[in-house]
Amino acid sequence: MSIFPTLLAGMALMLALLAIGQRFRGFKAQKPQDYARMEPRVDIRKHLSGPIRCEGVIYGPMGRVTSRFTADMEGRWDGNRGTLAEHFTYDSGTKQDREWRLTLGNDGRVTAEADDLVGKGTGQQEGAALHLNYTIRLPESAGGHALQVTDWMYLVDERTIVNRSQFRKFGIKVAELVATMRRVET
């Protein structure tokens, strides 16, 4: 009988070590400085400006696709302040609009606001990457939960950004989004 508690303690220790390892080596462990030398360099005033077409998928907690979407976006900038209007259409037929209000500091720091955020988002553009952290409140039709988001955007070329976001509740990943964003040449 004494082997069972030891086995449980060993399993709990292994799970804790796995969680700690992911924190220091996984997606959340990235830092903007990791991308400082990558070219081309992202400048959100340029790369999130004008018409943008977006396609993406959302994965649920078990890693399976739960939703697909397209979005038409329009970025407008006045100096270091800008807006990014997003118009989403999901595979279910549901439509969603969001407008980001972005401020870029002279040091590359980014502040983000939107009506469905809890507080402000903060981040940094560095080299070929943009990183944002924020808390988003889901619509009531999706449960109204507040989720912590880690958002990374990687500049592929002058027209294309790959966006990867993880959504967490109580530190547990509940969803992930992967999308491409391409500036539409007019």
pTM: 0.82
Q: What is the pLDDT of residues 87-98, one digit of tens each?
A: 999 999 999 999
pLDDT tens string 3-58: 777 777 777 777 666 565 555 567 777 787 778 788 889 999 999 999 999 999 99
Q: In this model, does residue 138 exceed pLDDT 90?
A: no
Give me the residue label for tokens 């391409």.
Answer: 182
pLDDT of residue 114: 97
DSSP code per residue over 37-106? T-SSPP-HHHHT-EEEEEEEEEE-TTSSEEEEEEEEEEEEEETTEEEEEEEEEETTS-EEEEEEEEEE-T
pLDDT on residue 7: 74
Pair (62, 17) in one structural domain: no
101 is in which domain, residue-wise?
31-183
How many angstroms separate the first and last alpha carbons of the chain?
73
Does residue 98 share a domain with residue 19?
no
The CATH number for 176's domain is: 2.40.128.20
Total domains in the chain come to 2
Q: What is the pLDDT of residue 110?
A: 97
